[in-house]
Amino acid sequence: MNENVAGVLEKAITERKMKHRFLSLSDLPLLQERISGLHREGMLEIRYMDGPFPPHEFPEACSIIVMARPQMASRFLFTRGGRQVEVIIPPGYRN
């Protein structure tokens, strides 16, 4: 990847407080295996892993940018029958 392009992308992604890594497409099978494992364990919500890699539109692609945006769970306190009940909503259920 061109270092100038990588630097611009790095800055833009970091400013948005997103976790990210630049990877070679040769690392993709291991990455997909690890992501699928975390998803099966309920540790990760997958929203944008559709389609073939590299996409048909970019057959010459050599790198991939993997990004994640940490999201906090929401915590609510309700009062019922004179006592407080805490409810935690996972990030994927808020939207």
> In the prediction, which pLDDT does 83 show?
92
Quote the CA–CA distance of 33 and 10 in Å, as a whole number. Answer: 25
CB 67 within 8 A of CB 53: no
Residue 17 — pLDDT band, cuts 50, 70, 90? confident
Query: For residues 1 and 63, is the Cβ–Cβ distance under 8 A?
Result: yes
Residue-wise pLDDT for 49-66, tens only, equals 556 666 677 778 788 888
Q: Specify whether the CB–CB gap between 65 and 48 falls below 8 A.
A: no
User: Which residues of 1-95 form beta strands (DSSP E)?
Assistant: 19-24, 63-68, 74-80, 83-89
